[in-house]
Structure 1
Amino acid sequence: MNVAEFLNINTAKFPTKPAIGFKKKEKWTEISWSDFRRLVFKTANALREAGISEHDKVAIYSDNSAEWIVTDLAILSLGAVTVPIYSTNNEQQAEYILNESECKMILVGNQEQYDAAYSILNRNQILTQILVSKKAIWIKKEKSRYLEDFIKNSEETFDIVPVEDDGLATIIYTSGTTGVPKGVMLTHGNFHKSVEAHFDFFKFKNFGKETSLAFLPLTHIFERSWTLLALCGGAKVYFLENTKLIASALAEVKPTIMCAVPRFYQKIYAGVHEMVNESSDSKKKIFNWAIEIGTEVAELRRLDKNVPFLLKMKNKIAGMMVFNKIKKKMGGKLWFMPCGGASVSAEVTRFFEALGIHITVGYGLTETTATLTAFPFHHFEHGSAGVPFGDTEIKIGDNDEILAKGSGIMKGYYKKPKETAEVFTADGWFKTGDAGKFDEKGNLFITDRIKDLMKTSNGKYITPQPMENMFSNNNYINQAMIVAEGKPYVTALIIPNFEALQEQISKMNIPFTSWEEIVNIETVKEFYREKIEEIQKGLSGFEKVKKFVLMSSEFEIGSGEITPTLKVKRNVVLEKYAVLVDKMYHS
């Protein structure tokens, strides 16, 4: 069955119920399932009239938008293949993907993307047309059309093309922290089985009443598969185009469910704790009491035990005095939030559970259609990556590598048989490249990326990710990158939370000049030295960061220092800041 078939199923069930929401002229607008399907079908017909047929490739190079999901579903309805390109990719990166995947058409979402696509079009023999999602974008008449005009005269009825389970649905190019991007081939069956497995695992009640906010890039498998799951289940999905507006979007949309990466949770956790640290003793006492009560309740719920009446009442008071104020900043209605993309520490998940928001930590890769394991609602273990679900099988191989089998595993890397063969064992297990272990209850713990495991020149092994999480959980640190491989001791590149630091320097009576100057002021460095000592006091001596550099700006996606899901590309950063790193070992 074609994965887009849910359009017919849900339109028949609730034709007038809102399906998707988006911002139009600064106002959130919704469209019904009937109108949503009509738009998808008009787009599918227009694509067919323009020469797109089964197995053809069509690219989407845009930020999240209603046009993104409509075009994606239209491509899938045709039995064609969607090739997403990260909106932050530059012309060179986009060209590599378009050339290798041999896309015939491309949808762009802003002027920069249009200009890049138009430049590529003149050098590309296969790309025939650029579709432009917004009329505000200036276009040249040649081989360029606004999506609105492109679909205007198309038919509203369409027969979704039947597809076998192994029929190719999408090629997602990994933003990988190392090497050349590889096109992961995912099938209609991969998506179907993933959706079924999630609903079977969580057994949601009244899922059609939920509201999700898509703010992670739809280009990434996590948001893409979550959004498809939400739509398949009949939930309403809002699409946020500008991720910088997440705070106001949460307040306006009031989502009940949504997926996010650890940075999202870490920043809320760090911000709340910093605010408490600076408040009066009485407020601190109230906060600590509320968290204690909330944690007690959360722990009973985790173990699937009844919460005594008196404790329930105390929790209600804790909610009114503390939790509801925090939750209001997130819209006030969130209760279920899948978390993936990197590890998140146990204190962060415990904090959210105490608030009454279930963070479902999961583990997976683009190559596994996202989720391999996840927290169930009960009996999960904080600090773990949950348990396998669906028909996923996991075993631990050589070097503690996590190996997986199941219906979520990709077909292979597009046009890369050698690289495909390298990630499968002789008997068909997919090699994740992550190290892990199971506890006696069957919970998977990710110990680290095998490639990221570091060995100091003294022969000590360092696992950077848990340490980097510890630092990122602090309100004054946005990101940290540990350096240790082949070095005599551990150092770190620290990116401050510039907003929090701005407030701090005004308290220190330091006038703002530029971040280059501020991060080199001895008082500021001493402030961070104390923070770092406090954060790492529980670590062994050889693990502790001995020296650090405060960076004057954030790692950038555009320059390839981080991936679009905010994972640091260690090799790129080490090369770019070699002089700074060298200084920490020779001064």
Structure 2
Amino acid sequence: MNLAEAIINKNVEKHPVKSAIGFKKKDGWKELSWKKFNEIIFKTANSLKNAGIEENDKVAIYAENSAEWMIFDLAVLSIGAITVPIYSTNNAEQAEYIINDSQSKAILVGDQQQYDACLAILQKEESVLQTIIISKKAVWIKKEFGSFYLEDFIAKASPEFEIIKKKYEDIATLIYTSGTTGTPKGVMLTHGNFVKAFDAHFEFFKFKNFEEELSLAFLPLTHVFERSWSLLCLYGGARVYFLEDPKDIAKALEEVKPTMMCAVPRFFQKVYAGVLEKAEESSPFKKKIFNWALEVGKQTAELRRKDQPVPFGLNLKHSVANALVFNKVKQKMGGRLWFLPCGGASVSPDVTRLFEAMGLHITVGYGLTETTATLTAFPLAHFEHGTCGLPLPGVEIRIGENDEIQAKGNGVMKGYYNKPEETQKVFTEDGWFKTGDAGKFDEKGNLIITDRIKDLMKTSNGKYIAPQQIENILTNNNFISQIVLIAEGRQFVSALIVPNFEFLKDYLKKINIPFTNWEEIVQKKEINDFYKDKIKELQNHLSDFEKVKKFTLMPAEFEIGSGEITPTLKVKRNVVLKKYADIIEKMY
């Protein structure tokens, strides 16, 4: 079964005039019906065939999120070719590596920088790249070098097309893992990986009226999490709106009013920190109301978690708590969100409990690119905070050597493209995929991640440090935006800390320190003392050997462009440690 066929055919037949996707044009959001969406996909598929793209050829996408991104992806799949996504934030060198390694013959680009990079690659003698398709007319192109605006590329094509039949084991996509270490590897995911994973989600969650849901795609579609989630939504007949610039998320939430949206822990941590900060700054009376509402919310959420009825009196109190406190937060997120898949890193139980109290269900999950995203997830009820939930149907998990989580099942990849040795390294002799994460099960069968095996640090005193847990505790605070722990081979734990500059700027006003520049501000004794007190308070329940003893405040955020963080905002520890080696040494 071709993944494109599984998504398009049944939905076009079932509800041709219902909206399938949404996107922003100038100041307003527009929609395409399933019939129109289908026509454009098929016109694009015919145009790709006319341009010489054949079954099993590789076709890349190097662009920001957009309706065109998804149309192109489904068109590539429809002709039986293989989609190769490239992060829009990747530089020319990174894009060239993926295009060459995958041997992509055509590519869709979004902006001028991406086009210029691809034009330079196409002009090289050894390149197999033949065609560049550009989604925006604002980009200046050289038509004589196989360059076409998407609109012109598909203008004369027929909207009639028969989707190429595929087997479950046929490759649908190569997703290059950005990874926090090493050279990117092309993860081979099949049509069956996606279709079976989608069916497992619907069996697991037993959604009601899924076709009425609306998802906002703001994480990069290049990442397996957003792409799988958006395709799953379309597979189930829900609408998906595409946000091009993730920085516009606050505005888009209020305009689109989604009911579902996948996000990474950093998004939820920011909301959590903002809510607590606002409460902290309120008058004693308002603070009292907030604390009362939170207690009512937690009691209600706990009963719902256990799937027990909420007594009339508590329900009434919850309505008042909603009106006085929670609705203000929920309205800023559009007012209709209820289902929020969360992955990419661990999320603190304090965060999930607060959201649950407000009536927003964060569905914590665990998975990797190599497992078509989800292996485990919170069910809608009977989930356990602080865990990653239960395995999905068709997924088997065991704990192997060094507490490593190992998996088998529908979503597990075919292997790494053209890297048989690398593939062999991540599978056991009896066929289990080795995740590289350490974990355990609780007594109810929920998976708990203890840390990345590669990230576990051993101090010079022989103590093991699991950095993610400590970093989570500290970044849950609204004054800390990013943090990297250092402990490997050292006598104590230190950290590089990126302040939340927005909150820190407000604090400077309160203590009458004039703002000059961040280089100067982070050196000030008053600011360092303020952070010393905050860190001491946040980690008071940790063992002494786990506590951050020294830290350096950084004057700027870690950046995607400089390779310090991945496009899903995970810090590339080895890059940061190397780049700031001098600063780290000064702390010891």
Q: Aligning the two structures, in what range does the TM-score lie when normalised by the shorter sequence?
A: over 0.9
Q: Does 1:555 align with 2:568?
A: no
Whether the 8 Å CA contact 2:497–2:553 is kept in 1: the answer is yes
Structure 1 residue 102: deviation in Å?
A: 0.2
Structure 1 stretches lacking a partner, 5+ long: none
Q: Does 1:33 align with 2:30?
A: no
**1:192 aligned to 191, 195, 198, which one?**
195
SS of 1:343's equivalent?
coil
Shift of residue 201 of structure 1? 0.3
Structure 2 alignment gaps of length 5 or more: none
Q: Match for residue 4 of structure 2?
A: 4
Query: What is the CA-CA distance between 1:502 and the residue it aligns to?
Result: 1.1
Deviations 1:35-93 (A, max 9, x none): 00011000000000001111000000001000000000000001100000000100110
Instruction: Tell whether 2:300 aligns with 1:267.
Output: no
* Among 323, 346, 349, the residue aligned to 1:346: 349
Matched, 1:357 2:368: no
Assess if the C-alpha contact under 8 Å between 2:121 and 2:127 holds in 1. Answer: no
AA in 1 matched with 2:511: M
Runs of 4+ in structure 1 off by over 2 angstroms are none
Instruction: Work out the CA distance in 2 between the residues paired with 1:88 and 1:40.
Output: 25
Instruction: Indicate conservation of the 8 Å contact 2:122/2:130, yes or no.
Output: yes
Corresponding position: 1:367 with 2:370: yes
SS of the residue 2:193 aligns to: helix
Q: Return the offset for 1:424.
A: 0.2
**Conserved in 1, the CA contact under 8 Å of 2:261 and 2:340?**
yes
Distance of 1:487 and 1:135 partners within structure 2: 54
- Which residue is 1:132 aligned to? 134
Measure the CA separation in 1 of the matches of 2:583 and 2:282.
37
CA RMSD of aligned residues (A): 0.6
SS at match of 2:286: helix
Q: Deviations over 1:494-546 (max 9, x none)?
A: 01111111111111211111111111111111111111111111111111100
Task: Tell me the distance in 2 between the aligned counterparts of 1:550 and 1:118.
Answer: 41
Matching of residues 322-341 of structure 1 within 5 Å: 322-341=325-344
8 Å CA contact retained: 2:394, 2:410: yes
Provide the residue aligned with 2:158 in structure 1.
155
Q: Within 5 Å, which residues of 2 pair with 1:237-386?
A: 237-386=240-389
Pair 1:232-2:259 in alignment:
no
- In the alignment, does 2:74 pair up with 1:73? yes
**Secondary structure in 2 aligned to 1:511?**
coil
Partner of 1:472: 475
Query: In structure 2, how many angstroms separate the alpha carbons of the residues matched to 1:137 and 1:254?
Result: 31
- Measured after TM superposition, the shift of residue 125 of structure 1 is 2.8
**Correspondence for 1:493:** 496
2:189 is aligned with 1:170? no
Question: What amino acid does structure 1 have at the position aligned with 2:66?
Answer: S
Matched, 1:440 2:443: yes
Q: Report if aligned partners of 2:194, 2:228 keep a CA contact under 8 Å in 1.
A: yes
Q: Which amino acid aligns with 1:554?
A: E
- 1:444 shift after superposition: 0.4
For residues 203 and 218 of structure 1, what CA distance do their matches in structure 2 show?
25
Alpha-carbon shift at residue 26 of structure 1 (Å): 2.1
State the SS of the aligned residue for 1:97.
Answer: helix
Matched, 1:20 2:24: no
**1:113 is the counterpart of 2:114:** yes
Deviations 1:344-402 (A, max 9, x none): 01000000000001110000000000000000011111000001012100000000000
Structure 2 letter corresponding to 1:61: Y
- What is the letter of the counterpart of residue 289 of structure 1? W
The letter of the residue matching 2:101 is E
Q: Which amino acid aligns with 2:512?
A: N
Q: Secondary structure at the match of 1:326?
A: helix
Question: Structure 2 counterpart of 1:244, which letter?
Answer: K
* 1:292 counterpart SS class: helix
Q: C-alpha distance in 1, partners of 2:183/2:361?
A: 36
- 1:221 corresponds in structure 2 to 224
The aligned counterpart of 1:426 is 429
Alignment match, 1:100: 101
Aligned to 1:62: 63
Partner AA of 1:83 in structure 2: V
Deviation of the 1:180 alpha carbon: 0.5
Aligned match of 2:420: 417
Within 2, Cα distance between the matches of 1:70 and 1:396?
40
Q: Is the 8 A contact 2:78 2:164 kept in 1?
A: yes
- Partner SS, residue 567 of structure 1: coil
Separation (CA, whole Å) in 1 of partners of 2:121 and 2:529: 50
Q: Distance in 2 between matches of 1:279 and 1:307?
A: 30
Name the CA distance, whole Å, in 1 between partners of 2:127 and 2:316: 68
Query: What is the DSSP-based 3-state SS (H/G/I as helix, E as strand, rest coil) of the residue aligned with 1:323?
Result: helix
1:429 shift after superposition = 0.3
How far residue 485 of structure 1 moved from its aligned partner, in angstroms, is 0.6
State the shift of 1:166 in Å. 0.5
Post-superposition offset of 1:121 = 1.1
After TM superposition, the structure 1 = structure 2 runs for residues 524-535 of structure 1, keeping only pairs within 5 Å, are: 524-535=527-538
Matching residue's letter, 1:448: D
2:580: which partner in 1?
A: 577
| 2:32 is aligned with 1:43 | no
Q: Distance in 2 between matches of 1:535 and 1:92?
A: 41
In 2, the alpha carbon distance for the partners of 1:59 and 1:436 equals: 35
- For 1:481, give the aligned amino acid: V
TM-score by length of 2: 0.99
State the alpha-carbon separation in 2 of the partners of residues 175 and 318 from structure 1: 43
2:328 maps to a residue whose letter is K
Deviation at 1:562, TM superposition (A): 0.7
Check conservation: 2:62, 2:88, Cα contact below 8 A. Answer: yes
CA–CA separation in structure 1 for the residues paired with 2:257 and 2:99: 37
Deviation at 1:15, TM superposition (A): 0.9
Q: State whether residues 272 and 476 of structure 2, in contact with CA within 8 Å, keep that contact through their aligned partners in structure 1.
A: yes
Provide the C-alpha distance between the structure 2 equivalents of 1:336 and 1:77, rounded to a whole number of angstroms: 30
**Superimposed CA distance per residue, residues 424-458 of structure 1 (whole angstroms, 9 cap, x where no aligned partner):** 00000000000000011101000000000011001
Query: What is the number of residues matched between the two proteins?
Result: 585
**Take 2:226 and 2:331, find their aligned partners in 1: how far apart are those partners?**
23
- 2:449 is matched by which residue type in structure 1? I
Residue 270 of structure 1, CA deviation: 0.4
